[in-house]
């Protein structure tokens, strides 16, 4: 048997693992938002990451501390906030770097405000010793509706009780 065959298998498997790891990173972002899990959210980013939410919100945070602080300031006033992550495409730009785009939808509701959108997340990713991390995420709105909607809101179950 040719050792080159084994090396080739390993290279192909590594590409599959990298793709799944990046898809999982985006999924873990959404899960952290929907579960309001601060610790999980912090682990998604490089220390020097940049998070931008485009116009008309137009905010930006530099570094994981500022990103987490901004995230909490946006999330905490909402009694409802659910992010929906749909399909995405990944483009590897080097052995340890990639860009990605994910199609997003969010619905939120504060005490007197409503928020519903369609958007694209444009991402830069890097491989770190702890796995793939976001180097930057930019949320680009395509549609934003802040008019009132009906319906009832239910609080998330406790993370501790919830298991997964």
Does position 142 bind a second copy by CB under 8 A? yes
Rounded least distance, CB 90 to a second copy, Å? 8
Smallest Cα–Cα separation from 107: which of 153, 159, 58, 157? 153
Find tokens 């137009």 and name the residue.
58
Does position 35 bind a second copy by CB under 8 A? yes
- What SS3 state is found at 2? coil
Report the site for a second copy in 74-133 (rule: CB under 8 A).
Answer: 80, 82-91, 99-101, 103, 105, 107, 116, 118, 120, 122-124
> HEC string of 48-70?
EEEEEECCCCCEEEECHHHHHHH
Q: What would the x/- binding string for a second copy be over residues 14 to 33, using CB under 8 A?
A: --xx-xx--xx-xxx-xx--
State the distance between the two ends of the chain, measured CA to CA, in whole angstroms: 43
Contact (Cβ atoms closer than 8 angstroms) between residue 63 and residue 149: no
Binding site for a second copy (CB under 8 A): 1, 3, 5-6, 9-10, 12-13, 16-17, 19-20, 23-24, 26-28, 30-31, 34-35, 54-56, 80, 82-91, 99-101, 103, 105, 107, 116, 118, 120, 122-124, 140-147, 149-154, 156-157, 162-164
């Amino acid at each position: 048997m040719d050792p080159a065959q084994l090396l080739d298998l390993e290279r192909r498997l590594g590409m599959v693992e990298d793709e799944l790891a990046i898809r999982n990173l985006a999924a873990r972002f959404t899960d952290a938002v929907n579960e309001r899990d601060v610790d999980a959210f912090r682990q998604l980013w490089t220390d020097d990451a940049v998070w931008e939410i485009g116009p008309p919100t137009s905010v930006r945070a530099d570094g994981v501390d500022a990103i987490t602080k901004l995230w909490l300031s946006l999330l905490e006033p909402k009694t409802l906030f659910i992010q929906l992550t749909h399909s995405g495409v990944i483009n590897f730009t080097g052995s340890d770097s990639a860009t990605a785009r994910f199609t997003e939808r969010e619905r939120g509701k504060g005490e007197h405000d409503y928020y519903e959108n369609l958007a694209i997340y444009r991402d830069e990713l890097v491989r770190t010793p702890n796995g793939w991390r976001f180097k930057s995420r930019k949320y680009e709105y395509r549609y934003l509706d802040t008019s009132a909607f009906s319906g009832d809101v239910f609080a998330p179950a406790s993370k501790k009780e919830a298991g997964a």
